[in-house]
Structure 1
Amino acid sequence: MTDSDDATADPVRPPVALTIAGSDSGGGAGIQADLKTMTAHGVFGTSVVTATTAQNTRGVVDVSPLPTDHVERQYDAVVEDFDVGAVKTGMLATADTIEVVTDRLRGTGMASGTEPSGASGFDGPVVVDPVLVAETGDRLLPPAAEDAYADLIAAATLVTPNADEASVLTGREVDDVDSAVAAARDLLETGADAALVTGGHLDGRSPSDDSVVDVFLAADDAAPTHVVSPRIDTAATHGSGCALSSAIAARLARGEPLEAAVEAVARELSDAIRGAYDVGDGPGAVNPTRLDR
């Protein structure tokens, strides 16, 4: 009898991570990219959907936020049953949703009046990808929603803005490595344990045009870490922020130290972009199966 003929169950027990984000009908970003990335890291991905979108490789047609009480119930259903090792947040869509997610993670009072499952809140690492600015540079959230991020960032183990998002969150212009470091310090003052300001949007303003410099700074670090990786000449970067933040969350769920997880993922992302999916009529999406190989 071969192994394939053996009818004995042989289940596996992988680490579990949770993504709280919007759905991308085009499959390249959001919940879909997060779950693919977690699977690529050997982590079982669970999800809380905050909004649905009608989009493809050419752009976003429509966004429909889900009711906050349904967001709460999704979260409760997951944490009541799964041993979640790490959480990442992506597109949260509205100020109310940001506040509800923050309250759930911190275990504080709910906007809808329902009680959180665990009164003490989530006690594992939380990676916040503040989805504020589209690839086009357009602001995705109204000012009230942007302001609501302050409390969520204060609850974060790591916040991962790109340069444009760091500018929105800190009110300072982030256009080179020095200003990215300053923005990272501002985010630590907001309360985050660590910040990673990604350098992909700093075109032509890195030490050389053929490199990307991501700036990592933790609260107990005297100096930042600069993670340098090659700049890939492609427009197929859809989902790069989602893949990066969910890959870090997956590694944290596996028990890896934060700085080691950040440095590994920041460098591996170049390969995910280099091997992007060539699908649809617009720019393709990053390939999360190229991570953690």
Structure 2
Amino acid sequence: MINSTPQVVTIAGSDSGGGAGVQADLKTFQARKAFGMSIIVALTAQNTYGVQESMTIPSTFIEAQFDSLAADFVIGAAKTGMLADVERVETVVEKLKQVDFGPLVVDPVMVAKGGHHLLQSDAVKTINEKLLPLATLVTPNLPEAEVIIDQRIATDQEMIQAAKKIQALGTQNVVVKGGHSQNKEAADFVLLASGESFWLEAPRIKTINTHGTGDTFSACIAAELAKGTDLKTAIVIGKKFIQAVISQPIFVGHGHGPTNHWATIQEDISLKKL
């Protein structure tokens, strides 16, 4: 029975306000019935107004966290979030090559809701060249996808092309999230390694309580992968879960509030193949 419980790890930054980052990931893992662990790469002084301060964890201590988990646990999936800078990205990449943490979901966190940069600009090239080729799935929102491909994305067709360009960087599967678009529906484009592609659509919800949605979506997928769920099904569950946590609100803080990780999946979403 040792290590028979599904285990999943987040490699990311801490959000002292509890709505995003490692805290959101761990809440999501728990909600999806996977045992969550963490490798903390950075710390933030953060609330619903934004990020006031941030600092990185020394690379040697990040390495120690990797080694500690690898020595004891059987981790079925991993996800990355805030990685801060080139040094931290390179450290995480090298350690991921040394351990077996299962499928890797990369959430390329770059900017907080309040505008604070969580990734130094010179680290984008390192992520593109070194981290994305390790990823089973990458889940950028529109602004992040624009940075990755260095191109404006304004239409559905441009989202499709962006997914193809990101896949060409070496990652196997891509979800380009459409939450930042002006479309009536919140539509995400999914491109799989098999060549299959489709849109996941759900009603857009008018709210400012969306802090940590990207973390929660990617964490849900990672938890499902750790449980043995196939990738396509995990992505669909991730979309259903994020719709639930936004549509069943809680009220915390004065700014961009967090989502509700207690939410129960109820909402149907639309899957449209090309």
Q: What TM-score, normalized by structure 2, do the two folds share?
A: 0.92
Query: Which one of 232, 238, 246 corresponds to residue 219 of structure 2?
Result: 246
1:216 aligns with 2:190: yes
Post-superposition shift, 1:276? 2.9
Correspondences of 1:111-190 after superposition (within 5 Å)? 121-122=99-100, 124-136=102-114, 139-150=117-128, 151-190=130-169
- CA gap of 1:291–1:159, structure 2 versus 1, over 3 A, is farther
Cα separation, 1, equivalents of 2:222 and 2:210 = 20
Partner of 2:272: none
Percent sequence identity is: 40
1:170-219 per-residue CA deviation (whole Å, 9 max, x = no partner) reads 112122221111111111111101000111011x2x3xx2x111011012
- Structure 1 stretch displaced more, 32-41 or 262-271: 262-271
State how far apart, in whole Å, the 1-side matches of 2:118 and 2:219 are: 20
Q: If you compute each CA radius of gyration, which structure gives the higher value, 1 or 2?
A: 1
Alignment of 1:55-134 (within 5 A): 55-107=46-98, 121-122=99-100, 124-134=102-112
**Mapped pair 1:22 → 2:13:** yes
1:200 matched to 2:179? The reply is: yes
CA contact (8 A) 2:248 2:263 kept: yes
> What SS is found at the alignment partner of 1:277?
coil
Residue 140 of structure 1, CA deviation = 3.5
Q: Corresponding residue for 2:236?
A: 263
Cα 1:12/1:97, change in 2 over 3 Å: closer
> Does the 8 Å CA contact 2:50/2:116 hold for their aligned counterparts?
no
* Aligned partner of residue 36 in structure 2, secondary structure: strand
Which structure 1 segments of 5+ residues have no match? 1-9, 108-120
Residue among 22, 43, 54 paired with 1:52: 43
| Number of residue equivalences | 265
Deviating beyond 4 angstroms after TM superposition, the runs of 4 or more aligned structure 1 residues are: 10-13, 136-139
**How far 1:277 sits from its partner (Å)?**
2.5
1:91/1:123 CA distance change after superposition, 3 Å: closer
Residue 252 of structure 2 corresponds to: 279
Q: What amino acid is the match of 1:68?
A: S
Aligned residue type for 2:188? D
Aligned letter for 2:187? Answer: V
CA contact (8 A) 1:40 1:292 kept: no
CA distance in 2, matches of 1:184, 1:264: 20
Q: Deviations over 1:209-260 (max 9, x none)?
A: 2x11101101221x52100011110011000001000000000000001011
**1:131 corresponds to which letter in structure 2?**
V
8 Å Cα contact 1:181-1:224 kept in structure 2: no
Structure 1 contact 177–213 (Cα < 8 Å) conserved: no
Report the CA distance between 1:139 and its aligned residue: 4.5
Aligned-residue offset at 1:122: 2.4
Q: 1:138 to 1:56 in 2, by over 3 A?
A: closer
Structure 2 Cα separation of the partners of residues 179 and 81 of structure 1: 44
Q: In angstroms, what is the RMSD of aligned CA positions?
A: 1.8
